[in-house]
Chain A
Amino acid sequence: MNEDKELIRRTLSGERDAFEMIIQKYQRPLVNFIARTVGDYEQALEFTQEVFIKSYSSLRSYKTHFKFKTWLFKIASNHIIDYWRKKKIDAFSIDYPKQQDDDSLFIQIPSNEYPVGKKFELEEIQQKIEAALQKIPAYLRELFVWRHINNFSYKEMAEIKGLPVGTVKNRVYQAKELIRKQLEDLQ
């Protein structure tokens, strides 16, 4: 993390190469997060560029006591939400009740549960997961992507979203349950 702070310091003192190093470090994690969240690779590339431009122009407002990674992904998350708002896509309504209780996971295992991927190979399960991801609510999708594709800790995710760690954990569990249910329906 000190490496990030050093690169930021150098960028602010006028070294353009330092910011290019930041881009090279974070371009893949950002593209993966955005592509999985918006479900469009080409759009993800465009959004990633815009996120880097936004982060460069507001670099002076970055507070060094925060992790640069969480600051950058917060910009990315807000950028996607702004896009959905402009396009009038309700990020909370995709096949999911708005007032879902975060405690809904404190329930027993469903009685008629089928084995996941009984009929599918790993690659096929992955394809089904990618498809299922697009059918779950966006606010759960981004947490799922951060956790299982970007390998973020719950603490980092809580920092980005400004939510308690417990709430983030429950939402990730909800996302996984919804994906599992989607896979079950496909069998």
Chain B
Amino acid sequence: MNCLRLDQIYQFLENDLPDPEISLIQKHVAQCPRCHQAVANRQKLIQASESLPFLDVPSGFSRQVMSRIFPQTLPISRSLITAAAGASVIFVTTLLIFIASGQNLVNVLMAMNQSALNSLQDLSVIFAKFMKLALLFVKMIIQFAGYFVAGLTHMTTIIGPEFQIAFAFITLLISGTLFYGLKRKFFLGEKQ
């Protein structure tokens, strides 16, 4: 057998040759000092490379990556959001009442500065007006509901029961689809 080529040496060291060829190479290496030295050199290099220390990762590394993927947001409770939304609605409504009542907002603010009593009086007026508006709104809703029920009763006398069931089913289907679609759009399937 001729002296080994470099690729043969590497294949030999990685057991990447057929058995008969390995035996031939083993015989040759035992007889040829040059090839013996070449194989020994590369074997040493491979052994040293494969025993190179495996570097460590700082503790908490995975947490660090997770916090970059999912930046932390302040946990806000649903009740807090509801309270904030309620406060915003009251504020905007109050502002609208001021404008509707024809009062100058600057004057009102200045008057509020004049004395605490005046401010309290203004607030009482605002609260009373707001309550009146709320009452009107409730009355309107009740009236609307009344018309809706009357309309529905009238419809039941015109439309047959089978059509009524079909209509109710279609309405339910549309509502369900809309709800599911919105849920997917806003929650993106991510669970905490």
* A and B interact: yes
Do residues B55 and A113 form an inter-chain contact, with CB atoms below 8 A?
no
Main secondary structure of the interface of B (DSSP, over half): helix
Do residues A28 and B54 form an inter-chain contact, with CB atoms below 8 A?
yes
Of residues B3, B65, B189, which shows the largest number of chain A Cβ atoms within 10 Å of its Cβ? B65
Considering only residues 52-101 of chain A, those with a C-beta below 8 Å from chain B are 52-53, 56
B1 within 8 Å of A (CB atoms): no
B residues in contact with A20, CB < 8 Å: 62-63, 66
A residues in contact with B45, CB < 8 Å: 116, 125, 129, 176, 179-180, 183
User: Interface segment, A1-9, A102-110, A156-164?
Assistant: A102-110
Known contacts: A14-B189, A176-B10. The answer to whether A125 contacts B66 by CB under 8 A is no
B residues in contact with A107, CB < 8 Å: 5-6
Known contacts: A24-B62, A149-B49. The answer to whether A106 contacts B189 by CB under 8 A is no
B residues in contact with A172, CB < 8 Å: 10
For residue A13, which residue of chain B has the nearest CB? B189
Which of A45, A106, A125 has a CB less than 8 Å from the CB of B44?
Answer: A125
B56 within 8 Å of A (CB atoms): yes
- Residues of B in contact (CB 8 Å), total 44
- Residues of A in contact (CB 8 Å), total 48
Do residues A105 and B7 form an inter-chain contact, with CB atoms below 8 A?
yes
Do residues A126 and B38 form an inter-chain contact, with CB atoms below 8 A?
no
A122 to B45, CA, bound (A): 10
A139 within 8 Å of B (CB atoms): no
Of residues B11, B37, B55, which shows the largest number of chain A Cβ atoms within 10 Å of its Cβ? B55
Do residues A116 and B44 form an inter-chain contact, with CB atoms below 8 A?
yes
Q: Give a binary string over B39-69; 1 marks a CB under 8 Å from any A CB, 0 the rest.
A: 0111011101111111111100111111011
Question: Min CB distance, B72 to chain A, in Å?
Answer: 12
Considering only residues 10-53 of chain B, those with a C-beta below 8 Å from chain A are 10-11, 16, 34-35, 37-38, 40-42, 44-46, 48-53
What 5 pairs across the A-B complex have the smallest Cβ distances? Answer: A148-B49, A23-B62, A109-B38, A14-B191, A116-B41
A positions within 8 Å CB-CB of B: 13-16, 19-20, 23-24, 27-28, 31-32, 35, 41, 44-45, 48-49, 52-53, 56, 105-109, 113, 115-117, 122, 125-126, 129-130, 144, 148-149, 151, 169-170, 172-173, 176-177, 179-180, 183
Beyond contacts A130-B52, A149-B49: 10 other A-B pairs, Cβ-Cβ < 8 A, are: A16-B70, A49-B68, A52-B65, A108-B5, A108-B6, A109-B6, A109-B34, A117-B48, A129-B52, A176-B42
